[in-house]
Amino acid sequence: MAANMAVTTAEFDEQVLKSDVPVLVDFWAQWCGPCLAIAPSVEAIAGEYEGRAKVFKVDVDSEDELAGRYGVMSIPALLIFKGGKVVDQHVGAVPKAAIANMLDRHLN
């Protein structure tokens, strides 16, 4: 995982909730096979949407407070934030195109 994609509880409000563009947050864990399977797609989307959206990853093992705050019970959980609120979400592994389509729905 690209280190600059990780976001901690301390940074979350500033980086995600106060963002002026939509934000895709991937709640994941190192031991989660489906999480590792979609990681290359999430990282590719981060590059492709640079400037139009932000992409972050939250490790549920080290940031369990965030997972609890957003009711993440199963991973991978992909949440789209816009205007400080969750506007879309999907639980489970999906193809890159499905992740991009979910994000596209919330671009300005």
Mean pLDDT computed over every residue of the chain: 94
Q: Is the pLDDT of residue 4 over 80?
A: no
**From the candidates 7, 16, 24, 35, which is the catalytic residue?**
35
Overall CATH class of domain 9-104? alpha beta
Task: Find the catalytic residue in 25, 32, 38, 102.
Answer: 32
- 73 an active-site residue? no
53-73 pLDDT, tens digit per residue, is 999 999 999 999 999 999 999
- Mean of the pLDDT values across residues 78-99? 97
For this structure, is 35 an active site residue?
yes
What pLDDT digit, counting tens, does each position of 9-34 carry?
999 999 999 999 999 999 999 999 99
Which has the closest alpha carbon to 1: 69, 53, 71, 76? 76
pLDDT at 1: 45
22-34 as b/e: b if 16+ CB within 10 A:
bbbbbbbeeebee
Which structure tokens are listed for 23?
Answer: 């934000």
Q: What percent of the chain has pLDDT over 90?
A: 95
